[in-house]
Amino acid sequence: MQFFLDTANVDEIRTMVSTGLVDGVTTNPSLIAQSGRDLVQTIKEICALTNGPVSAEVTATDVKGMVAEGEYLRDIADNVCVKVPLTWEGLEATHRLSEQGHPVNVTLCFSANQALLAAKAGAVYISPFIGRLDDTGANGMELIGEIRTIYDNYPELDTQILAASIRHVLHVKESAMMGADVATIPAKVLKALAQHPLTDKGLAAFMADWKSTGQSILS
């Protein structure tokens, strides 16, 4: 499974990329707004920090506008992936951009039918929003499983499942078990994947035992 970092915070991305665990980055208009920075400059800086795909989202809602903005965003850097909403207009824009060779991440997916349409339109990634489905009382993980089943039934559909709206480590584990190709994760959740109380307890015991020997590995 690939891990994308879900943020527009350049400093945070720089720190996390240095771990070697980050395969790409996803942004959206809300994350750009939270950063308080210029969109183009922010995307340019993020793209310089990773060789992986960096999703940059259009803000137009009509086909012509989405295609124009997608082409503009793609000019920022070679690893920009155009992000479009899963609307009827977004599907047509996905088709047009894909026909031109531009990778597209179709976002705001909440049903398997939507995911099927996005794949047929040529999306490289489909982003089902797990956490937002959970908020409504539905089970977001069921959607990941449904999409995986559909895509596996039709090998010609090579769209990757990008699990999004991830809130906690259980979402990551279950997405991986369901066969999602990618999880886009806030930095705090990615860090939390490494945490376990028994690890901390075991390490404390090892360090105490080692200290009692009076030795140093490098001395």
> Catalytic site residues?
83
Separation between Cα atoms, residue 110 and residue 118, nearest integer Å: 12
Q: Work out the number of other CB atoms within 10 angstroms of the CB of residue 92.
A: 17
Q: Is the dihedral of CA 74, 75, 78, 79 positive or negative?
A: negative
- Cβ 181 vs Cβ 160: under 8 Å: yes
Separation between Cα atoms, residue 78 and residue 71, nearest integer Å: 11
Residue 24 CA to chain centroid, in angstroms? 7
Residues 6+ apart with CB under 8 A from 118: 86, 91, 94, 106, 109, 126, 159
Q: What does each C-alpha distance from 41 to 30, 76, 82 come to in angstroms?
A: 16, 9, 16
